[in-house]
């Protein structure tokens, strides 16, 4: 029987990679991609599957309750995978409200529509799933040792992570209160193709390729746990198929690196890839720290590994080279999006224009 997926935020970085992953790994599916197309949404990511009969796009704000409700009555949706969000921490520091609107109220709008359409007792009810794509940032910041597990208390610090934690609590509450089939995944930092160049890795690659300064916040020793995006997509696919309803699954690859390590690695690999000696560490510039900057994230992926057999297949050394190569081959994609609102935000953030 055909499985119908509602993928929200499918024109963004992880959502578009997820749609490409699903279409490559499953035959008998239908995907409805719902996206508002904010500055971060880009249908060019999905140009290769535009004419695939299994895929369709609807431009929609997940906060538009009546449109979302209608969609659930138009299509018999089996799985909801909610990627749609404002996702950038720096933007949330400058303008928290839109994060509350999309990340919290948007999630509630989807939950309510699904709850209304998915009737307890209908013969498909037991197979339906609402998967909330969350983040390790809801757990707050680690000291030098230890890892986040699914039982780590929520302790978000930025408006972004607070909005994601709020959404997680609401998703859990719908599960507990209405016996509604929810799942939550909490993933560490992703990197790979189609990531908007405001996030650390694509920003540094793009700036390095243009001989622009590489702005490192604070002392550069904050730690993130990097995961290649395709491995995240595989984890979500496995949680949808075999995860236990009501459970949380952390997704991460035991790949912790300091920011300065990442930036120096990008300098080295970009320089090597295009044979350009002007791409050097001299481009690195230490800039004032992010407000409330979490020091360290590190995921313990034991549960998803033991229970579902997931593990990250792409090691960082391989993944970063593939990613740099992708950005070199897709400069037109980057150029198309590094304009308009993004430019304004960038200028406001750094008080100067650093992107070509
Ligand atoms: P992104 O910013 O690249 O994409 C977000 C997408 O959501 C965009 O296509 C945007 O147009 C869409 N969107 C925003 N507001 C919307 C609205 N009101 N209605 C409909 N669509 C809307 O984000 P991403 O990095 O792909 O992250 C996707 C999800 O994964 C987010 O929920 C994020 O919190 C979570 N996450 C991201 C990472 C990461 O490293 N990027 C890690 C863990 C979890
Ligand atoms: O951990 C998962 C989270 O990872 C996701 O939930 C978020 O959606 C995603 O944006 C990401 O959040 P981070 O804040 O960790 O990612 P970002 O790429 O913005 O920053 C990574 C680290 O690099 C962080 O310590 C801040 C630092 N940084 C970032 C930028 C953009 C810099 O030093 N310089 C920069 O210019």
**Mutation pick for ligand 1 pocket among 16, 68, 86, 87 (CB with most ligand atoms within 8 Å):** 87
Give yes or no for residue 352 having a pLDDT over 50. Answer: no
0.75 exceeded by the pTM? Answer: yes
CA 305 to chain CA centroid, nearest Å: 20
Whether 168 is a known active-site residue: answer: no
Q: How far is the CA of 269 from the centre of ligand 2 (A)?
A: 20
pLDDT digits (tens, 9 = 90+) for 157-203: 999 999 999 999 999 999 999 999 999 999 999 999 999 999 999 99
CATH class of 3-191+227-251: alpha beta
- Nearest-Å Rg of the Cα atoms of the chain is 20
Lowest mean pLDDT among 119-128, 188-197, 233-242, 340-349: 340-349
Dihedrals phi, psi of 153, to nearest 5 degrees: -60, 150
CB distance 205 to 240 below 8 Å = no
Residue with tokens 């279409």: 23
Q: Looking at the CA of 12, which ligand is closest?
A: 1
pLDDT digits (tens, 9 = 90+) for 5-34: 999 999 999 999 999 999 999 999 999 999
283-310 mean pLDDT: 98
Q: Is 220 exposed, middle or buried (0-12, 13-18, 19+ CB in 10 A)?
A: middle
Which token pair is 49? 């599957």
Torsion sign over Cα 117, 120, 121, 123: positive
Q: How far is the CA of 34 from the centre of ligand 1 (A)?
A: 12
pLDDT digits (tens, 9 = 90+) for 217-234: 999 999 999 999 999 999
């Amino acid at each position: 029987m055909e499985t119908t997926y509602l993928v929200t935020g499918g024109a963004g970085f992880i959502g578009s990679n997820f749609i490409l992953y699903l279409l490559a790994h499953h035959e008998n599916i239908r995907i409805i991609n719902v996206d508002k197309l904010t500055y971060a949404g880009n249908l060019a990511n999905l140009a290769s599957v535009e004419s695939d009969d299994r895929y369709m796009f609807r431009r929609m704000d997940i906060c538009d309750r009546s449109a979302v409700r209608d969609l659930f009555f138009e299509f018999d949706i089996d799985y909801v995978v909610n990627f749609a969000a404002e996702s950038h921490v720096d933007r949330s520091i400058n303008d928290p409200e839109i994060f509350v609107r999309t990340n919290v109220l948007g999630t509630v709008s989807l939950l309510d529509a699904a709850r209304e359409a998915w009737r307890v007792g209908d013969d498909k009810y037991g197979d339906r799933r609402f998967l909330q794509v969350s983040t390790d940032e809801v757990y707050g910041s680690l000291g030098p040792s230890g890892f986040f597990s699914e039982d780590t208390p929520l302790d978000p610090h930025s408006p972004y992570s607070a909005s994601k934690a709020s959404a997680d609590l609401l998703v859990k509450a719908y599960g507990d209160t209405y016996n509604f089939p929810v799942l939550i995944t909490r993933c560490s930092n992703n990197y790979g193709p189609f990531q908007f160049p405001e996030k650390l890795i694509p920003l540094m690659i793009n700036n390095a390729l243009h001989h622009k300064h590489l702005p490192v916040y604070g002392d550069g020793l904050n730690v993130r746990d990097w995961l290649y995006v395709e491995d995240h997509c595989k984890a979500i696919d496995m949680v949808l198929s075999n995860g236990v309803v009501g459970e949380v699954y952390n997704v991460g690859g035991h790949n912790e690196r300091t920011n300065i390590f990442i930036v120096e690695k990008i300098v080295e690999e970009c320089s090597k890839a295009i044979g350009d000696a002007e791409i050097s560490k001299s481009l690195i510039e230490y800039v004032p720290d992010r407000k409330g900057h979490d020091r360290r994230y590190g995921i313990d992926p034991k549960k998803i590994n033991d229970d579902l057999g997931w593990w990250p297949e792409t090691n960082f050394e391989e993944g970063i080279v593939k990613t740099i190569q992708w950005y070199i081959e897709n400069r037109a994609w980057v150029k198309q999006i590094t304009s308009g609102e993004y430019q304004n935000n960038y200028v406001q953030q750094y008080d100067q224009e650093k992107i070509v």
